[in-house]
Structure 1
Amino acid sequence: MADYAHTDFAAKGRAEKARRLAAYIWQRDITGAELLALSPATRRKLARAADTNPPSTDETWSRTAQLLDEKDAWAQRHPNHPAAQRSYSDEKILWVKPPVTPWHAPPPGPSEG
Structure 2
Amino acid sequence: MDADDVDFAHTDQASRRRREKARALARFAWDRGITGAELLDMRDDRLRKLARAAGTNPPSTRETWTAAAELIDEKDRWAAQHHGDPRAVRPHTDEKIMWVKPPIAPWS
Question: TM-score scaled by structure 1?
Answer: 0.89
Of 60, 67, 80, which aligns to 2:64? 60
Deviation at 1:103, TM superposition (A): 2.2
- What code does the residue aligned with 1:25 have? A
Give the whole-Å Cα distance in 2 for the aligned partners of 1:56 and 1:40: 11
Q: Within 5 Å, which residues of 2 pair with 1:1-113?
A: 1-104=5-108
User: Could you say what the CA RMSD is over the residues aligned between the two structures, in angstroms?
Assistant: 0.8
SS for the counterpart of 2:106 is coil
- What code does the residue aligned with 1:97 have? K
Give the whole-Å Cα distance in 2 for the aligned partners of 1:52 and 1:67: 17
Deviation at 1:102, TM superposition (A): 1.7
Give the whole-Å Cα distance in 2 for the aligned partners of 1:6 and 1:21: 20
